[in-house]
Amino acid sequence: MKKVSLRINGKEYASEIEPRLLLVSFIRDICGLTGTHIGCDTSNCGACTVIMDGKSVKSCTVLAAQAVGKEITTIEGLAKGEELHPIQRAFWEHHGLQCGYCTPGMIMQALWYLKLNPSPTEQEVRESLSGNLCRCTGYQNIVDSVLAAAKYIRNGDQAR
């Protein structure tokens, strides 16, 4: 056991951890930030996607110890109070979620990708999300949500 401190959504969380503890377990079980989900055990589904130092990572594939000193953002860090982030708003407006289990991962992945490519084509959006699985939506409304979000952000909506 070793004491570490992780910075998540701008807040420090300190805990004694085992070296094998996954980042996703730290986020969910130690910080109680349960918006980051777990959908597989093979790094395939993307439900656990968070942003680490500006890049999207599957938090089931990162050890908590590897995240020390990094800046982590989870789905809980997006909305400003009641006001949704433009990507969240776009998912709402375009019915981009059904059960909502894949949604946090999808949104975090889109957050990263739209910073990289603010004006993507539909095909580019599809490719950027191909590591995030959704069993409910058939993806069409997710893709449309991300395209709409790109537009909102280009038009000056707040994005972090």
Partner 1 sequence: MASAQQTIGSGMATRRKKPKTPLPKPTQGLVGQPLKRVEDHRLLTGQGKFLGDIRLPGLSYATFVRSPYARARLKHLNSVAALSLPTTVAVFTANDLIGLGDMPTVEEAPEKYPTKRPVLVQDEVRYLGEAVALVISTDPYAAEDAAELVDVSYEPLEPVVDPVKAMLPDSPRVHEHIPNNIAYHLKTESGDVERAFSCSDGVLTLELENQRVSPTPLEPRGVAASYDPGSSNLTVWSTTQDPHSLRGILSAGLGLPEAKITVIAPDMGGAFGQKISVYPEDFAIAFAAIRLRRPVKWLESRRENLLVGTHGRGQVQRIELAHTNDGRVLGVKAKIVSDGGAYSTSGAFEIPELTCAMVTGVYDVQDVRTELYSVLTNKVPQDAYRGAGRPEACYLIERAINALAKKLRLDPLEVRRKNFIPSSKYPYRTASGYTYDSGDSHLALSTLLERSQVHSRLTELRKSFPDRLFGLGFSTWTEITSFGPDFPQTAAVSVTKEGEVLVAIGGHPHGQGHFTSMVQIVSDELGVDPGSISIAEGDTRLLPWSSLTAGSRSAALTGTAVLLSARKIKGKMSVIAAKLLKDNPSELVFERGQIYSMAKPERRIAFKEVASAAYLPSKLPEGLEPTLYEYTAYAPSNYAFPSGAHAAVVEIDPETGAVRPLEYYAVDDVGRVINPLLAEGQVHGGVAQGLGQALLEKVVYDRSGQLLNAGLGDYCLPSTTDMPRINWSRIETVTYANILGVKGIGEAGTIAATPALVNAVEDALGAAGGEPLGMPLLPELVWKSLSSKSRTATASSSAHEGDRASG
Instruction: State the residues that interact with partner 1 by CB under 8 A.
Output: 18, 20-21, 25, 28-29, 32-42, 44-45, 47, 74-76, 78-79, 84, 88, 91-93, 95, 97-104, 107, 125-127, 129-143
Q: How many CB atoms lie within 10 A of CB 7?
A: 15
* Shortest spacing between CB 24 and ligand FES, in angstroms: 6
Q: How many CB atoms lie within 10 A of CB 93?
A: 15
Residue located via tokens 């995030």: 132
* Shortest spacing between CB 119 and ligand FES, in angstroms: 25
| 48 touches ligand FES (CB under 6 A) | yes
Alpha-carbon distance of 70 to 77, in angstroms, equals 15
Strand, helix or coil at 142?
Answer: helix
Residues at the interface with ligand FES (CB under 6 A):
38-40, 43-48, 58, 60, 97-103, 134-137
